[in-house]
Amino acid sequence: MSDGNFVTVRANEFNSTFDVESAANVISRASECSLKFQTITGGRTKYYKIIDIVGPNNEFGGAGDGYRITIEGKFDDEVDSICGGSFANRTPGLQLVITHDEFEDKPEFDGKFLLKYLEMLL
């Protein structure tokens, strides 16, 4: 998976995780989301920015059986160590986590992070 820029997800898994309305909401806001992989034993990757979710389409050979989630850039080598390196060798209990990235643009956040950090060091 490393050096790749997309992951495919079975439509039945995607649709059972998100109800129809939520799935449509996630797809329409894909560019506002990130993903990471994690295992049931605590291993996890960094977050990767999603640029698009397409589907349901024929990712696994059947009509409308999958979604393709494309990320910005490429997956790092860490993804291979967490995920198993290939579909055939995938890690048991592997989970794909999709989060909605919310940004708050408040005046109290403007230019103060460095100052607060320096104050803590003094």
Summarize pLDDT for 58-116 with one digit per residue, the tens.
888 888 888 899 999 999 888 888 888 877 787 888 888 888 887 666 666 555 455 54
The rounded distance, in Å, linking the Cα atoms of 77 and 72 is 15
In terms of phi and psi (left: phi > 0; alpha: psi -120 to 50; beta: otherwise), the region of 85 is: left
**C-alpha dihedral sign at 76, 36, 53, 29:** negative
Task: Determine the average pLDDT of the residues in 39-58.
Answer: 89
> What percentage of the chain carries pLDDT values higher than 90?
17
Question: Which candidate, 43, 57, 48, 53, places its Cα nearest to that of 3?
Answer: 48
Question: Between the ranges 11-15, 101-105, 107-111, 118-122, where is the mean pLDDT highest?
Answer: 11-15
Q: Which residues pair with 66 in a beta bridge?
A: 10, 57
